[in-house]
Structure 1
Amino acid sequence: MTSPAPSPHARRTGRRHTHLIGLLTALKVRSRLTYAQLAARAAGLEDTVAVSASTLKRAVDPRTVPQEHVVTAFVRACGAAIEDERDALKVWRAARAEDRGILAALRAPSVSSTRTRADFRAVLVAAYERAGAPPLRVLQDRAGTDEADGALLLPLTTAWRITRREGQGPANWTQCEAFLRGCGVHPRRMGPWQDAWKRTRTLPRAELGSTAADIRRTTRGGPDTVARHDAARLAAGIRPVVEALAADPGIRNAPATLAAGVQVLADALVVMYRSASREAHRNGTTPPDWITATNLVPEPPPPATAA
């Protein structure tokens, strides 16, 4: 009797997933323990999530890639060394990225090659995928908290928008650094990331690159679209004026001229703040730091509400 032909829709086990299965199987064989015994050992280990015998058995099932905590419990229950655990998790991350298929389709540039905000959003997603696309709460825990007041450094809504490439990305470098830390990027490797962050924050609007939300709104238009474009033009024009006011001794020594110039800047910043606040509210982020930090807008005006 011949075996039935495999379904054309059957899921193929990836090469890295196959490698993971072989690695876990070899550890179990070396431990000479049953799955029930492995589950009992895992339950008694510190800093290890308890898993059932059936869950451990599914860890070597070619039909699905196991979760990270299952791989950790499996390896530790087998009595493997720290190096073995590190290798197993490295293989798991590769298997997970292979299974999701997002990283291969993303075609993100290297960090040093990023030139637009679209590039930067892509490399952030690539970092997340290479980390095994952990659950967002796990990512948030790994991102850490502010030592001063214990505040979470990475809101879940921000993490979600980064992984979906929604909006303009992290609101500031602190959020960006927290996200990367959650993805396992070592502090010693943050330098190129921060350089890329600064490089893509200073580009004119035409070079920022479109967001997913921008693309969806291209046919809508309306007052908000005009306001965003006006804010971008104001941002490009205000900075050199501020620098001129600060650098020119003649202007500094002419109080009336300076007062008039500051009033013009204040009016422009109010318009820009309203537009940025509206967009930030929609994106779940905060207005740009250089707007909110200035004392030219002593109290942020309330966002516009629908009539």
Structure 2
Amino acid sequence: MGRTESPVDFSIRDRGVLANYLRAHRKGANITFEELAKRTGLSSATLKRAASGKKTPTQPVVKAFLLGCGGDSQDVELGEIAWRRARRAERGRSDGRSPVPPLISTRGELSRALVNLYEGEGAPPLRVVQERAGSQWLALSSASRIINRQTLPATLEQMAAFLRGCCVPERRHGPWLDAWARVVTPAIHDDSGASPAVPILQPQMRRWMRLRNAVMHGDLREFTQVATPDPYKANEMFREWSSEGGEKARMKMWDQLLLESFATLSREPLSELRAYLPSA
């Protein structure tokens, strides 16, 4: 097995835990670093550094190391959890003290929570965050300003994009989007007597914000899918409006958004408000 390895560096505990985890897998596979290098395509020096505890390796190196030692998907998943903890501890930028999304009530709390979210994911390169989020929604400059606490997401869609970039599952987006709406845009309260300090973003308001973002980005497909929950009708609307040309489609989107604005703010049914819209 070659020379005896130096003791793991535990100056940063979580980084040392990751190194120990990698060493245990190499020991279990009973292979040398040279053999592991052949299996992974990485240099022996890179693999030795990864298992030293002196510096957190990259996520791809951790994955390759474990697979090269015969690890399965569960081994890799546990290794990536250890990697994220090591990265967070090494960077030292996450205080871990931000409130959970339903309790966020200020811009500062939301900003700190988003930074902790990013750091908790292992602070991946911003290009990786952008690829996960969708470049049309999250520019590199915007992502950089968000994680450096210089700004908050400018739109609901950009907030959702940042969440995707940090691997937050879609089913967990709701409380985060509500938190963004509470501190960035005027919120609509429900009728249940909820505390004004923690207003609730109504589904109708969330729907309106998606429509508004679709109009601003000229996204007819998104607009029709939100405006009409029936997939068949949404597809029909998309085909009809897109066939009329870009300018006329944009005017129809703006007209519909105007109606939706009144319905959202006044809570009047859309069917009653259509009478006020000039016929095309």
Q: Which amino acid aligns with 2:165?
A: G
* Aligned residue in 2 for 1:159: 143
Paired amino acid for 1:28? R
Q: How many angstroms apart in 2 are the aligned matches of 1:143 and 1:55?
A: 30
- Which letter does structure 2 place at the counterpart of 1:161? R
Amino acid at match of 2:21: L
Among 53, 71, 74, the alignment partner of 2:65 is: 74
- Which residues of structure 2 form unaligned runs of 5+? 1-8, 188-196, 198-260, 267-280
The answer (yes or no) to whether the contact 2:15–2:54 under 8 Å persists in 1 is no
Distance across 2 between alignment mates of 1:191 and 1:91: 27
Equivalent residue in structure 2 for 1:196, among 176, 179, 195: 179
Q: Percent sequence identity over matched residues? A: 40
Whether the 8 Å contact between 1:116 and 1:203 is mirrored in structure 2 is no
Question: In 1, Cα distance between the equivalents of 2:48 and 2:124?
Answer: 21
Match for residue 102 of structure 2?
Answer: 112
Higher relative contact order (CA 8 A, sep 6+): 1
SS of equivalent to 1:115: coil
Matches within 5 A, 1:1-307: 13-43=11-41, 51-104=42-95, 107-144=97-134, 152-167=136-151, 169-202=152-185
What residue identity is the alignment partner of 2:37? Answer: A
Contact in 1 for aligned 2:18/2:53 (Cα 8 Å): no
Q: Give CA-to-partner distance per residue, 1:134-188, whole Å, 9 cap, x none.
A: 111111122235xxxxxx3311000000000113x11112111111111111111
Q: Give 1:36 deviation, angstroms.
A: 2.1
For 1:139, the aligned partner's letter is V
Q: What is the distance in 2 between the residues matched to 1:179 and 1:107?
A: 20
State how far apart, in whole Å, the 2-side matches of 1:35 and 1:139 are: 32
Match of 2:209 in 1: none
* Cα distance in structure 1, aligned partners of 2:127 and 2:34: 29
> How much has 1:122 moved relative to structure 2?
1.0
Given that 2:160 and 2:173 are in contact with CA atoms closer than 8 Å, whether structure 1 keeps it comes out as: yes
| Alignment partners' CA distance in 2, 1:192 and 1:34 | 48
CA contact (8 A) 1:144 1:178 kept: yes
Give CA deviations for 1:82-129 in whole Å, capped at 9, x if unaligned: 01100010011011111111112x632221110011211111111000
Write the deviation string for residues 268-290 of structure 1: whole angstroms up to 9, x where unpaired.
xxxxxxxxxxxxxxxxxxxxxxx
Residues 48-86 of structure 1, C-alpha deviations (whole Å, 9 max, x = no match): xxx322101100122211121211111111110101100
Structure 2 counterpart of 1:134, which letter? P
Distance (Å, rounded) in 1 between the aligned partners of 2:71 and 2:103: 39
AA partner of residue 142 (structure 1): R
C-alpha displacement of 1:12: 5.7
Q: Render the CA deviation track for 1:202-254: whole Å, top value 9, x for unaligned.
A: 359xx9xxxxxxxxxxxxxxxxxxxxxxxxxxxxxxxxxx97xx97xxxxxxx
Q: SS at 2:94's partner residue?
A: helix
Which sections of structure 1, spanning at least 5 residues, go unmatched? 1-10, 44-50, 146-151, 208-241, 248-307
Local SS of the residue matching 1:55? helix
8 Å contact kept, 1:154–1:178:
yes
Q: Is the 2:59–2:83 Cα contact (8 Å) retained in structure 1?
A: yes
Normalised by the length of structure 1, the TM-score is 0.56
